[in-house]
Amino acid sequence: MKKIMFIFGYLLFSASIISIYIHAANTISANQILRRDETIVSPQETFELGFFKPGNSTNYYVGIWYKKISPRTVVWVANRNTPLVDSSVDLTLTLQGVLLLRNATKGNVVWSSVNSSTTSVMRNPIGKLQDTGNFIIYEEGEDNNPIWQSFDYMTDTLLPGMKQGWNLITGIERRFTSWKSNDDPGNGEFSYWIDTRGYPQLILSEGRVIRFRGGPWNGLRFSGVSNLRPNPFYSFTFVVNKREIYYQYNLIDTSVITRLVLQPSGRVDRFLWIDSKQEWNLYLTRQNDLCDQYAVCGPFGSCDIAKSPVCECLKGFEPTSPDQWKITDWSQGCRRTIPLDCKPGEGFNKYSNIKLPDTRGSWYNQTMTLVECDKMCKSNCSCTAYTTLNISGTGSGCLLWFGDLIDIRTFAENGDTLYIRLSASALASIENRSQSARRRARVIVPVAFGALIILVSVGLFYGLNKKKQQQQRIPGNKLGQDPENRSDDEHLELPLFGLSMILKATNNFSMNNKLGEGGFGAVYKGVLDGKEIAVKRLAETSTQGLHEFKNEVISISRLQHRNLVKLLGCCIEGDEVMLIYEYMHNKGLDSFIFDKTQSKLLDWPACFQIIIGIARGLLYLHQDSRLRIIHRDLKASNILLDKDMNPKISDFGTARSFGGNQIQAKTSRVVGTYGYMAPEYAGGGTFSIKSDVYSFGVLVLEIVCGEKNNGFVHKEHCNNLIGHVWGLHKEGKSLQLVAKCLGESINVSQVLRSIHVGLLCVQRHPEDRPTMTSVVVMLGSEGPLPPPKEPGFYVGKTPEVTTQFSCSYCSNNELSITIMNGR
């Protein structure tokens, strides 16, 4: 009996060892079953294939992920749109070489890798997981010629060696599509793909709407992706021939792990795995500014993010609708100043450093020279523009456009050259202006040089005396001591007003003229040259105000936008330091939305226009101004309303400017107002455009609800306003949030969209929040919105809240803070 038990135990042990060996292998054979708790591992244990449950989902999917990276990073999903809810699941390879995913209990097939070309029984089909992350099915001995591979059916990730594009022989299109959410790998709204309707170009679309166009390949990079440059980690190529059209990247340093991911939000990110940190690091992300918005400047318009406004007509063109153009509605684009008539004398004007226009409907030839290209376009009256196809080396190929030229932008560098057809008169006009400019330059430059020498001499003399005077007028010369904005050499582009003028304008700072008082000092109403003004007077005891004064002058003196308060000038005389603004008849937004009487004067259309106006002003600060400005203290009291209830962002004392490609900074001096400050800024001093987006989100929710976030405590769940809005949104009860004073004036879809966008803006993690470009688009459209994630500073019952508060913490007082040596 003992001998029988021993043999039985030995057999069980052997079977388990065999089972472990089989399922630790990198292949699966015909009729072999892979169950829920079993996996296939690639030869070098780089990738693993098996069953998984994404995020907080309870559904089962078959996927491929990195085996040695934690947390699990999935790169491919088989049944992304057909989840399994039953844990009794298995994966089988049939004799026909088809991979079947079944519900083992019911026996029904929920997904298969059916290929119509393989219907007969194969000699010995094998499924193999490779170290590239590709799962292939092939006949024994034919692994170099797979009959099916996962790389042909990519999900949201592009791996090294994958081909993004088209196989023109089989008709297979390889595009990657975002997940719906981190919990649902089903097809999301965003796709990144190669459009072949004309010369192939890279497209990012949301549903059927183009959101971003990477443009055609110019031999070095996609025309609209200027940050795609050679690097030490990977090389990239684009192939166009009769068999295939595809983009591909391959590793240079094989020790590096990298992936390109299309996020559920539509963002395209490249990550590198850093072994020393044991985490994914964001290496590159798709540019995302206003000029990336598809066709933002309309036909024959060009977008330049370094200019304000960003849109301008190409030379030889003028706005189609000048009135719309003036109010920054560029959708109708531009038209020719002199129409084409297909007569002799028509030619081409050269435009440099641009993103090539939409190539749908274009024509191309890969072997023609640029001279031949010019002749071909000139001989066809319908041809509107041409360029060389490949700018590498000596250049080659020909690309022709017909009709309107759409989605052009100007780059500072690494742009392409385009030759656009113009009439003889238009070309002559451009040439005359150029010659006139050159003649003026020949005269002006010598004169200007001589004048410059004189001015520099006078300026040095005047500057030395002025500096001495200012040091006497401003005790301790404290305006130059701001550790965060060292701009001592900045020129203040503002008129200087004398103290006597300001005294007369404000009736000697009469108490009857006093409008209010803040951390900087008192604000007075005045009349200067018949125009109403507001005078911001620095308090004698306010050392913080000295920093704010200098910062505000330098920041706002360079800004011009209808939704920013206008700074008219300043006064620095004796001990007096003052800023002079345009007068806002309706004072601050807080005096309306938080006041039970005043709030009745605002209906929903007015509220929505205020939201839109604030969004456009903030977009200007972040994207379109000469400097990228981070406000850092956006709140209701800093939104002023003019006589027509147009909102204007004010108080730039704590603002910071970013230069170049800087996207965030960290400070030990946290300034702002509780209730509006983003978690990463309040807790760690990190600020960026996304911390302003958070403040904007709070402001939107306050406008809709008529409640102050920092003064709101719900009697049942102790949440602040954000937490209360989040809870009702999840329950589908958002309309309960609308302020009673708005009554029947509300537009339900606008209200729901505003709440939804507000929640997107206050999401806990900065990378999840939209940019103000996206916010303006979302508020002005009717398309679907991504689901918001849990907000920052949400006080709920979940264990993952960002910050825990008690009810006793909340107060009805708005508190502006400055934290020195913050975390």
Binned at pLDDT 50, 70 and 90, residue 557 comes out as low
| Residue 550 marked as a ligand binder | no
If residue 426 lies in a helix (H) or strand (E), which one and from where to where?
A: helix 424-473
CA dist., res. 692 & res. 710, Å (int): 17
Cβ contacts of 352 within 8 Å, gap of 6 or more: 415, 417
Same domain, 296 and 384: yes
Residues 600-624: what's their mean pLDDT? 90
Same domain, 176 and 284: yes
Task: Copy the structure tokens of residue 304.
Answer: 């330049």
In degrees, rounded to 5, the angle at the alpha carbon of residue 398 between the alpha carbons of residues 394 and 400 is 145
pLDDT of amino acid 817: 39
DSSP label at 600? Answer: G
Whether residue 8 is contained in a domain is answered as no
Is the pLDDT higher at 232 or at 816? Answer: 232
The pair phi, psi for residue 398, each rounded to 5°, is: -140, 135
CA dihedral 577, 583, 589, 591 (to 10 degrees): 90
In degrees, rounded to 5, the angle at the alpha carbon of residue 378 between the alpha carbons of residues 372 and 381 is 140
Name residue, tokens 């803070």: 817
- CATH value at residue 684: 1.10.510.10
pLDDT of amino acid 115: 56
Same domain, 284 and 375: no
Whether residue 7 is contained in a domain is answered as no
Residues 734-754: what's their mean pLDDT? 86
Q: Is the pLDDT confidence value at 445 over 70?
A: no
Q: Is the pLDDT confidence value at 719 over 80?
A: no
In degrees, rounded to 5, the angle at the alpha carbon of residue 401 between the alpha carbons of residues 407 and 373 is 130
Whether residue 2 is contained in a domain is answered as no
Same domain, 662 and 808: yes
Task: Copy the structure tokens of residue 193.
Answer: 């793909």
Whether residue 367 is contained in a domain is answered as yes
CB atoms under 10 Å from CB of 80, counted, come to 23
In the beta sheet, which residues pair with residue 686? 666
Same domain, 448 and 365: no
Same domain, 93 and 59: yes
Q: How far is CA 223 from the centre of its chain?
A: 19
Domain that includes residue 395, residue range = 291-422
pLDDT in tens, 176-229: 999 999 999 999 999 999 999 999 999 999 999 999 999 999 999 999 998 788
Q: Is the pLDDT confidence value at 548 over 80?
A: no
Instruction: Give me the number of domains the chain comprises.
Output: 6
Distance linking the first and last C-alpha atoms of the chain: 72
Q: How far is CA 723 from the centre of its chain?
A: 25
CB atoms under 10 Å from CB of 236, counted, come to 17
pLDDT of amino acid 458: 61
- CATH value at residue 543: 3.30.200.20
Whether residue 10 is contained in a domain is answered as no
Is there a contact between 333 and 439 (Cβ–Cβ < 8 Å)? no
Checking DSSP bridges between strand 40-41 and strand 148-149, what pairing results, if any?
unpaired
Whether residue 3 is contained in a domain is answered as no
Same domain, 669 and 776: yes
CB atoms under 10 Å from CB of 456, counted, come to 11
Whether residue 301 is contained in a domain is answered as yes
Whether residue 1 is contained in a domain is answered as no
CB atoms under 10 Å from CB of 235, counted, come to 12
pLDDT of amino acid 501: 92
- Residue ranges with strand state E in 347-491: 347-354, 363-365, 383-387, 398-402, 408-409, 416-422
Binned at pLDDT 50, 70 and 90, residue 430 comes out as confident
Cβ contacts of 232 within 8 Å, gap of 6 or more: 252, 253
Q: Is the pLDDT confidence value at 108 over 60?
A: yes
Count of alpha carbons within 13 Å of 531, Cβ hemisphere only?
Answer: 11
Task: For residue 129, give the nearest of 20, 32, 43, 10 by alpha carbon.
Answer: 43
- CATH value at residue 78: 2.90.10.10
CB atoms under 10 Å from CB of 121, counted, come to 11
Same domain, 711 and 596: yes
Same domain, 648 and 499: no
Task: Copy the structure tokens of residue 151.
Answer: 């790389």
Cis-peptide, bond into residue 299, ω within 30° of zero: no
Same domain, 785 and 669: yes
pLDDT in tens, 145-163: 899 999 999 999 999 999 9
Task: For residue 674, give the nearest of 737, 721, 622 by alpha carbon.
Answer: 721
Is the pLDDT higher at 352 or at 430? Answer: 352
pLDDT of amino acid 629: 87
Same domain, 467 and 478: no
Binned at pLDDT 50, 70 and 90, residue 472 comes out as very low
Binned at pLDDT 50, 70 and 90, residue 8 comes out as very low
Q: Which residues are tagged catalytic? A: 633
CA dist., res. 187 & res. 190, Å (int): 8
Query: Among 583, 618, 634, where does a domain finish?
Result: 583
Cβ contacts of 67 within 8 Å, gap of 6 or more: 41, 42, 45, 46, 47, 48
Same domain, 632 and 536: no
Count Cβ neighbours within 10 Å for each residue of 419-450 and write b for 16 or more, e otherwise: bbbbbeebbebeeeeeeeeeeeeeeeeeeeee
Q: Residue 369: what residue type?
A: T
Query: Among 529, 560, 583, where does a domain finish?
Result: 583
Query: Among 264, 288, 312, where does a domain finish?
Result: 288
Q: What is the percent of the chain where pLDDT is above 90? A: 49
